[in-house]
Amino acid sequence: MAKAIRDGALGGLAGGVVFGVMMAMMGMLKMIASMVGSPSPVVGFLIHMMISAAIGAGFGLVLGGWASSVGKAIGAGLGYGFLWWLLGPLTIMPLMMGMGFGSQWNASAMQAAMPSLVGHLIYGAVLGFTYYRLSLSARSGRAAQLA
């Protein structure tokens, strides 16, 4: 279990770096930093990376056993990324910003959050792939295959 959590956290960091670069290019890191009262994109990136590692650890704990092939791992990561798009920018972040529960659960808000959805899906795919590759060493007696 500890290895699954560690591999998930490392996978989350890998996905977090990719998604973090995308967020930086879209100017979103200041908004992340605002959750703790900072205007700094560096603070936003650090917060994003902590969240990425924690969410990745959750992936390892909950879905790690299911990620037995690269396809299953990436598929699980995509689904997990989608779930966190619903939970993060559409639910938790608006609550933290005083917007109220469910305030972003409408077609207009979801359409505006499409770039975030793409980022969360990419995060999930990188998380799943990285988790699978890291977990190969735990699979004794199996050949490491990417297909």
110: nearest Cα among 85, 143, 140: 85
Give CA angle at 104 (51, 110), nearest 5°: 85
pTM (2 d.p.): 0.86
CA distance 48 to 21: 11
What is the percent of the chain where pLDDT is above 70?
Answer: 93
pLDDT at 133: 95
Condensed to tens digits (0 to 9), the pLDDT of residues 16-49 reads 999 999 999 999 999 899 888 999 999 999 999 9
CA distance 118 to 16: 13
Condensed to tens digits (0 to 9), the pLDDT of residues 133-144 reads 999 876 644 444
pLDDT at 147: 47
* Contacts of 95-99 spanning 24+ positions with Cβ under 8 A: 96/35, 97/34, 97/35
Average pLDDT score over residue span 105-124:
90
Tokens of 98: 């005083």
